[in-house]
């Protein structure tokens, strides 16, 4: 009933009508859509399908064409159905017919989007047809310059949507982009509208870019997707690159087993919460940024490090990583080399090139590249969270509130429902309040059993991100 009530509230807010329809459940469907175009002369064709099954909160994040689930016969049948539907309503424009496909190969009409969609570039890449230009030509009264028999698909294209959001909670991340370095290479296309210095706010959808890769076949496209995600560097806000990378690397994705429950069935976000130890080479590169000054900056970038001196004495550097603190012992060697030790790992590394935030190093026969960021560095295309540790005698003044952060607003928004009263006893997991932000509802639940002490905000209040929405006591 709570889901129904939530749907009614969303419908009322969006359309002024809280009536909802109950539809048939299709277990583990694929989401398949067909791109169609129709002109003012009765000509309608489809340009093949896109599979958009991998989604979060029913929003697509990975799209590709063609779908591995369709046989030539099923593709022809679904395409013909899409064209027939458009003809029945006299449609004149670019649009999309969306279907659910069950595991038995039966498909069901879902909706029609009467516009170009975010994922239209994958169709452009496999057909060679510029859909934006085609849409404008139709609006100008021109006939379609091609027939159904002219439409041919070549290769495989994949698009992922890059969002400014936490990969685990999947909530938008606001802030200013301090680094934005998109990938480059064969078969890599980027549609974006942001750059360094731009600010992500709560007022708009937090999508930063559409990353599109193209290959001769799906295997090559997937390989290029993995490479592109590994070399996409963004700092200043959190992004869903870790989530997209985990999807692209999963064996089920490689096998084309993509259903709408992909993220939950494979517990993708659970794996993202497990800290991964950074590679020793990345730790050594971070230490060398502190030890070897750039030509224009003779001082180290580590604020806790004693200024660098040309000495053969060992230097002790301390850092904090996702898996905890780590100590690096660095000793200068002959010919500009450094002997570095961190735990069980050791290496002798030569700095080949160093400027303000970039470094090239040689470890034996291997060459590595590092890019220094505010919260860590990118080592050979992989983002590593590593920061200087404060002095050992610096005591933290942070207060631990034992779950109270779970009672905070995840982002700025409005309070739309309060489900408890002050003085109520609640159990762990009980819904307390519901807030709306960025067109989504977020339910704040009790992180532990206790009593509601105070409700600082009333329904309708605009609240800032991070403020406590419910004050609780565990006594």
pLDDT at 420: 92
3-state secondary structure of 302: coil
Residues 248 and 316 in one domain: no
pLDDT at 235: 86
| pTM for the model | 0.71
User: Rounded mean pLDDT of the chain?
Assistant: 88
Alpha carbons 99 and 255: distance in angstroms, whole number? 22
DSSP letter (8 states) at residue 143: P
Residue 394 has pLDDT above 50, yes or no: no
Is residue 450 situated within a structural domain? yes
% helix, strand, coil for the chain, step of 5: 20, 35, 45
Residue 17 has pLDDT above 50, yes or no: yes
Residues 193 and 319 in one domain: no
Q: Which pLDDT tens digit goes with each residue over 114-124? A: 999 999 999 99
Q: Which domain does 54 fall in, by range?
A: 21-272
Is residue 11 situated within a structural domain? no
Give 354-383 as a DSSP string. Answer: E-SSEEEEEETTEEEEEEEETTEEEETTEE
Residues 377 and 425 in one domain: no
pLDDT at 395: 38
Looking at the chain, the whole-number percentage of residues with pLDDT higher than 70 is 92
pLDDT at 36: 98
**Number of domains within the chain:** 3
pLDDT at 392: 53
Residues 332 and 214 in one domain: no
Catalytic residue chosen out of the listed positions 115, 312, 362, 454? 115
Residue 181 has pLDDT above 70, yes or no: yes
The region of weakest confidence among 88-102, 139-153, 272-286, 343-357 is 272-286
User: Residue 448's domain is classified under what CATH number?
Assistant: 2.40.50.100
Is residue 7 situated within a structural domain? no
Identify the residue with better confidence: 159 or 401.
159
pLDDT at 405: 63
- Mean pLDDT for the stretch of residues 15-24: 87
pLDDT at 393: 46
Q: Please, which pLDDT band fits residue 89 given cuts at 50, 70 and 90? A: very high
pLDDT at 312: 66
Give 286-344 as a DSSP string. Answer: HHHHHHS-BTTB-S-S-TTSPPP-S-SS-EEEEEEETTEEEEEEEEE-GGGEEEEEETT
Residues 266 and 299 in one domain: no
Q: Which pLDDT tens digit goes with each residue over 328-377? A: 999 998 877 999 999 889 999 999 999 888 899 999 888 998 988 877 88
pLDDT at 391: 64
- Mean pLDDT for the stretch of residues 458-464: 88
pLDDT at 253: 96
Tokens of 414: 């409005």
| Active site (annotated) includes residue 50 | no
Q: Which pLDDT tens digit goes with each residue over 233-271? A: 888 888 999 999 999 999 999 999 999 999 999 988 887
pLDDT at 132: 96
Cis peptide before 66 (omega within 30 of 0): yes
Domain's final residue, options 357, 388, 419 = 388
Domain's final residue, options 217, 241, 272 = 272
Question: Where do we find the tokens 């009672």?
Answer: 407
Residues 158 and 28 in one domain: yes
Q: Which pLDDT tens digit goes with each residue over 211-221? A: 999 999 999 99
Residues 313 and 206 in one domain: no
């Amino acid at each position: 009933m709570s889901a129904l009530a939530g749907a009614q509230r969303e419908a009322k807010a969006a359309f002024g009508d809280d009536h909802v329809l109950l539809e048939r459940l299709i277990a583990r469907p694929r989401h398949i859509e067909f791109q169609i175009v129709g002109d003012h002369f009765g000509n309608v064709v489809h340009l093949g399908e896109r599979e958009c099954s991998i989604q979060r909160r029913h929003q697509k994040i990975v799209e590709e064409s063609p779908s591995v689930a369709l046989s030539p016969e099923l593709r022809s049948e679904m395409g013909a159905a899409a064209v027939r539907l458009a003809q029945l309503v006299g449609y004149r424009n670019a649009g999309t017919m969306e279907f659910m496909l069950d595991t038995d190969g039966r498909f069901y009409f879902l909706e029609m989007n009467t516009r170009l969609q975010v994922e239209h570039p994958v169709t452009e890449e496999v057909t060679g047809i510029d859909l934006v230009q085609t849409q404008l030509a139709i609006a100008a009264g021109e006939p379609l310059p091609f027939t159904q028999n002219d439409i041919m698909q070549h290769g495989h294209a994949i698009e992922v949507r890059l969002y400014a959001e936490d990969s685990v909670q999947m909530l938008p991340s606001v802030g200013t982009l301090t680094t934005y370095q998109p990938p480059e290479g064969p078969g890599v296309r980027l549609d974006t509208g942001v750059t360094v210095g731009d600010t992500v706010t709560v007022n708009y959808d937090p999508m930063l870019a559409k990353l599109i890769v193209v290959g001769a076949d799906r295997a090559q496209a997937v390989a290029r997707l993995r490479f592109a995600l590994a070399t996409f560097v963004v700092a200043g806000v959190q992004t869903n690159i870790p989530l997209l990378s985990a999807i692209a690397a999963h064996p089920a994705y490689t096998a084309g087993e993509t259903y709408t429950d992909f993220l939950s069935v494979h517990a993708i976000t659970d794996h993202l919460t497990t800290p991964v130890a950074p590679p020793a080479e990345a730790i050594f590169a971070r230490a060398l940024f502190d030890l070897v000054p750039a030509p224009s900056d003779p001082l180290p970038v580590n604020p806790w490090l004693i200024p660098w001196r040309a000495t053969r004495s060992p230097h002790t550097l301390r850092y904090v990583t996702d898996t905890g603190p780590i100590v690096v012992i660095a000793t200068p060697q002959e010919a500009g080399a450094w002997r570095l030790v961190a735990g069980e790992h050791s290496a002798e590394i030569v700095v080949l090139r160093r400027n303000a935030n970039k470094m090239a190093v040689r470890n034996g026969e291997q060459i590595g590249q590092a890019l220094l960021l505010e919260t860590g560095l990118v080592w050979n295309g992989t983002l590593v969270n590593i920061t200087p540790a404060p002095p050992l005698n610096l005591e933290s003044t942070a207060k631990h509130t034992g779950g109270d952060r779970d009672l905070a607003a995840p982002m700025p928004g409005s309070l739309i429902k309060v489900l408890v009263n002050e003085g109520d006893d609640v159990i762990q997991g009980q819904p307390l309040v519901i807030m709306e932000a960025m067109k989504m509802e977020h339910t704040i639940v009790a992180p532990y059993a206790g009593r509601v002490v105070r409700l600082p905000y009333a329904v309708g209040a605009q609240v800032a991100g991070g403020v406590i929405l419910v004050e609780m006591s565990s006594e």
